[in-house]
């Protein structure tokens, strides 16, 4: 509907009062459409025209030629208010939805590539509840960018390298666990979690253990075959469980290139840093100084020769640029790593990689849980944080109770309950600006009332249920748009028409919340329409059913762009 702004600006320019681009800047969309769909203040013209704004507006209202699709213009206290022709809007919007289907509002391919690094958990541990944020924000951004015309490379930069593996190896051998192939194949992430916890405990009493772990990792880095075999088993065990959860959540990746993948690409990075005289030896470590950017030095190599998280991120960035030639590379990682990414980006800058400007850290706030009456951030190490799989299970159980009460004979109710439960958790993560911390309150998140996943899911279910009950579908040519001009229908159509703008808005700020809020708007307007304009059995049945179908299509795709399951029945 953006084209209306341009048309209005053109028409105003034709009167000679406004310059076209000045008018375009001044036009806005008032929140309350009873004062028009577009409004422009005339105060800025008072000086040049030597007339009161109120009079200017009145003159212009009489003079301006209304662009197609607008029904009237009104002058009110120095403002010009333009009204959309409801019939025209219904036809434009609903015809387009019928023609484009789920892809209505999507942009044409723009030839650009975006890399999105998300989820990227550390191997050897189970996914904790807080991993949901990066996973679901990234998953949604990947879908939204695709809808906005980008080619998307979804990357899981697994934390599958580093001292943590030294710790696991040390502990595994200490506990004299069997290392035959069959045992290693059957290893589970649960067992690894236990090893990890016992390492943390033991190292408190034995300070030497940390050194042992570092030495074990160095040995692994140097290619020791036995250690490599253990590492491979640890990685596989974690990945198996990881995939199970991703599948359950409907999350996917194009590349599982974890930190270990970059091991053999690091020497070239070190050479380049040396050649460009960027490596400085400080306290026996190699660093890149970043004083000129007011940043601490970036650690590249430890005294024992082993490399670091940042080194692997440098190699990964250079690899991504070479492999995918991205226009943009996003890192959906918590706010706590802001300094790390600043350092990495600035080292790239010093290396002369001009594309460092196209790299973006997309941070987000933490999930807070109520512990003894206080909102707290959970920690995996101490075991107070819930595991993601436990949270998903609990969500499923809660929704299943609801279904058992309302619709006990529902087919596939276990699966549906899990999908609604996951969607509820996801929606709670996406509904507010991502930088805000998320306060997680079970009852509020799982409620069918308020700003929740179940509420938007339920709107979709209601639309589907009307379509099922109707038992037939309506095509665009069968709908009479003049029957869709009452307030409830018009308000809903006006919202559906904004889908394209909302997708671009979400991309502009890397904010899935723009679409989450949009889903709420659609759900609310749809409920209102269904409530006020009886569909089945009314004289306008066909036209109204056509609007129900159109709304269902838009809502289904918006849910999908958020990574929520578009449930049809509950």
Comparison of 79 and 246: residue with beta carbon closer to ligand ARG: 246
Contact by Cβ (8 Å): 526, 517: no
Comparison of 260 and 494: residue with beta carbon closer to ligand ARG: 260
Task: Identify each DSSP E strand in 312-373 by its residue range.
Answer: 328-332, 359-362, 367-371
Contact by Cβ (8 Å): 314, 268: no
Is there binding between residue 121 and ligand ARG (CB under 6 A)? yes
Whether the CA torsion 80, 86, 92, 97 is positive or negative: it is: positive
| Residue in the structure block whose two tokens are 């934390």 | 159
- To the nearest whole angstrom, how small is the minimum distance from the Cβ of residue 103 to ligand ARG? 31
DSSP per-residue letters across 231-261: HHHHHHHHHHHHHHHHHHHT---SB---GGG
Segment contacting ligand ARG (CB under 6 A): 100-108, 118-126, 365-373, 517-525? 118-126
Comparison of 80 and 220: residue with beta carbon closer to ligand ARG: 220
Helices (H), 175-325: 181-185, 189-205, 208-221, 225-249, 266-275, 309-324
Comparison of 106 and 130: residue with beta carbon closer to ligand ARG: 130
Q: Which residue is nearest to ligand ARG (CB)?
A: 159
Comparison of 261 and 427: residue with beta carbon closer to ligand ARG: 261
CA distances from 242 to 19, 81, 117, 190, 256 (A): 58, 55, 16, 12, 12
Segment contacting ligand ARG (CB under 6 A): 40-48, 69-77, 116-124, 493-501? 116-124
- To the nearest whole angstrom, how small is the minimum distance from the Cβ of residue 333 to ligand ARG? 4
Contact by Cβ (8 Å): 535, 548: yes
Comparison of 121 and 563: residue with beta carbon closer to ligand ARG: 121
Dihedrals φ, ψ of 38, to 5°?
-140, 145
Tokens of 307: 């490399």
Dihedrals φ, ψ of 449, to 5°?
-115, 150
Segment contacting ligand ARG (CB under 6 A): 120-128, 201-209, 268-276, 531-539? 120-128
* Residues that contact ligand ARG, how many (by CB under 6 A): 10
Is there binding between residue 117 and ligand ARG (CB under 6 A)? yes
- To the nearest whole angstrom, how small is the minimum distance from the Cβ of residue 293 to ligand ARG? 19
Instruction: For residue 300, give the H/E element and its range.
Output: strand 298-301
Segment contacting ligand ARG (CB under 6 A): 98-106, 113-121, 216-224, 382-390? 113-121
Q: Is 383 left (phi over 0), alpha (psi -120 to 50) or beta?
A: left
- To the nearest whole angstrom, how small is the minimum distance from the Cβ of residue 454 to ligand ARG? 30
Instruction: Give the C-alpha separation, 43 to 65, whole Å.
Output: 21
- To the nearest whole angstrom, how small is the minimum distance from the Cβ of residue 121 to ligand ARG? 5
Segment contacting ligand ARG (CB under 6 A): 117-125, 183-191, 262-270, 389-397? 117-125
Comparison of 340 and 542: residue with beta carbon closer to ligand ARG: 340
Contact by Cβ (8 Å): 150, 110: yes
Instruction: Give the C-alpha separation, 91 to 391, whole Å.
Output: 45
- To the nearest whole angstrom, how small is the minimum distance from the Cβ of residue 119 to ligand ARG? 8
Is there binding between residue 331 and ligand ARG (CB under 6 A)? yes
Is there binding between residue 313 and ligand ARG (CB under 6 A)? yes
Question: Of these, 288, 298, 333, 425, which contacts ligand ARG (CB under 6 A)?
Answer: 333
Is there binding between residue 307 and ligand ARG (CB under 6 A)? no
Whether the CA torsion 20, 21, 24, 26 is positive or negative: it is: negative
Q: Write the interaction track for ligand ARG spanning residues 212-241; mark x where CB under 6 A is met and - where it is not.
A: ------------------------------
Task: Identify each DSSP E strand in 21-98 by its residue range.
Answer: 38-41, 70-76, 79-84
Cβ–Cβ contacts within 10 Å for residue 182, how many?
7
- To the nearest whole angstrom, how small is the minimum distance from the Cβ of residue 393 to ligand ARG? 23
Cβ–Cβ contacts within 10 Å for residue 558, how many?
27
Rounded to the nearest 10 degrees, what angle do helices 225-249 and 388-406 cross at?
20
Question: Of these, 81, 93, 120, 306, which contacts ligand ARG (CB under 6 A)?
Answer: 120
Question: Of these, 36, 53, 138, 159, which contacts ligand ARG (CB under 6 A)?
Answer: 159
- The gap between the terminal CA atoms of the chain, to the nearest Å, is 34
The contacts of residue 432 (CB under 8 Å, 6+ apart) are 438, 513
Question: Of these, 122, 380, 386, 557, which contacts ligand ARG (CB under 6 A)?
Answer: 122
Comparison of 122 and 260: residue with beta carbon closer to ligand ARG: 122
Comparison of 122 and 549: residue with beta carbon closer to ligand ARG: 122
Comparison of 109 and 383: residue with beta carbon closer to ligand ARG: 383
- To the nearest whole angstrom, how small is the minimum distance from the Cβ of residue 547 to ligand ARG? 44
Comparison of 348 and 446: residue with beta carbon closer to ligand ARG: 348
Instruction: For residue 138, give the H/E element and its range.
Output: helix 131-147
- To the nearest whole angstrom, how small is the minimum distance from the Cβ of residue 117 to ligand ARG? 5
Q: Write the interaction track for ligand ARG spanning residues 266-305; mark x where CB under 6 A is met and - where it is not.
A: ----------------------------------------
Tell me which long-range contacts 243-246 makes (C-beta under 8 A, separation of at least 24). 245/127, 245/388, 245/389, 245/392, 246/119, 246/135
Q: Write the interaction track for ligand ARG spanning residues 436-475; mark x where CB under 6 A is met and - where it is not.
A: ----------------------------------------
Tokens of 235: 């990685």
- To the nearest whole angstrom, how small is the minimum distance from the Cβ of residue 446 to ligand ARG? 27
The residue ranges that bind ligand ARG (CB under 6 A) are 117, 120-122, 157, 159, 313, 316, 331, 333
């Amino acid at each position: 509907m953006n084209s209306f702004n341009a048309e209005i600006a053109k028409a105003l320019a034709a009167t000679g009062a406004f310059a076209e681009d000045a008018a375009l800047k001044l036009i806005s969309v008032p929140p309350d459409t009873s004062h028009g769909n577009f409004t422009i203040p005339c105060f800025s013209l008072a000086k040049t025209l030597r007339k009161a704004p109120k009079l200017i507006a009145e003159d212009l209202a009489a003079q301006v030629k209304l662009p197609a699709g607008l029904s009237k213009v009104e002058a009110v206290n120095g403002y010009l208010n333009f009204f959309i022709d409801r019939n025209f809007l219904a036809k434009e919007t609903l015809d387009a939805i019928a023609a484009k289907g789920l892809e209505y509002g999507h942009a044409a391919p723009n030839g650009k590539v975006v890399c999105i690094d998300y989820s990227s958990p550390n191997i050897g541990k189970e996914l904790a509840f807080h991993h949901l944020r990066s996973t679901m924000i990234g998953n949604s951004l990947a879908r939204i960018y695709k809808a906005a015309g980008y080619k998307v490379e979804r990357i899981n930069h697994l934390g599958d390298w580093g001292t943590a593996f030294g710790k696991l190896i040390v502990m595994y051998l200490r506990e004299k666990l069997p290392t035959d192939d069959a045992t290693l194949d059957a290893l589970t992430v649960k067992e690894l979690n236990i090893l990890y916890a016992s390492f943390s405990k033991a190292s408190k009493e034995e300070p030497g253990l940390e050194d042992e772990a570092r030495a074990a990792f160095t040995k692994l880095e140097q290619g020791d075959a036995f250690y490599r075999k253990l590492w491979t088993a640890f990685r596989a065990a974690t990945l198996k469980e990881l995939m199970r959860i991703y599948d359950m959540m409907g999350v996917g990746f194009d590349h599982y290139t974890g930190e270990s993948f970059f091991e053999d690409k690091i020497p070239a990075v070190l050479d380049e840093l040396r050649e460009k005289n960027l490596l400085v030896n400080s306290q026996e470590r190699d660093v890149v100084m970043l004083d000129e950017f007011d940043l601490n030095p970036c650690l590249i190599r430890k005294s024992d020769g082993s490399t670091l998280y940042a080194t692997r991120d440098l190699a990964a960035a250079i690899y991504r640029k070479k492999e995918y030639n991205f226009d943009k590379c996003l890192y959906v990682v918590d706010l706590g790593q802001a300094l790390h990414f600043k350092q990495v980006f600035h080292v790239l800058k010093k290396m002369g990689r001009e594309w460092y400007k196209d790299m973006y850290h997309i941070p987000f706030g933490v999930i807070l849980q109520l512990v003894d009456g206080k909102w707290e951030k959970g920690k995996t190490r101490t075991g107070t944080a819930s595991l993601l799989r436990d949270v998903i299970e609990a969500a499923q159980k809660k929704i299943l109770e609801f279904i058992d009460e309302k619709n006990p004979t529902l087919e596939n109710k276990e699966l549906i309950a899990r999908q609604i439960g996951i969607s509820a958790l996801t929606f709670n993560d996406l509904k507010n600006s991502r930088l805000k911390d998320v306060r997680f309150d079970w009852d509020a998140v799982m409620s069918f009332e308020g700003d929740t996943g179940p509420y938007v899911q339920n709107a979709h279910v209601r639309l589907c249920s009307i379509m099922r009950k109707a038992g037939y579908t309506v095509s665009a040519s069968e709908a009479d748009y003049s029957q869709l001009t009452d307030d409830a229908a018009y308000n809903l159509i006006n919202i559906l028409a904004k889908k394209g703008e909302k997708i671009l808005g979400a991309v502009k700020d890397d904010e899935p919340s723009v679409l989450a809020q949009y889903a709420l708007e659609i759900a609310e307007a749809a409920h209102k329409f269904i409530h006020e304009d009886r569909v089945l059995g009314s004289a306008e049945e066909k036209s109204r059913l056509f609007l129900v179908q159109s709304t269902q299509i838009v809502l289904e795709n918006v849910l999908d762009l958020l990574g929520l399951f578009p449930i049809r029945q509950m």
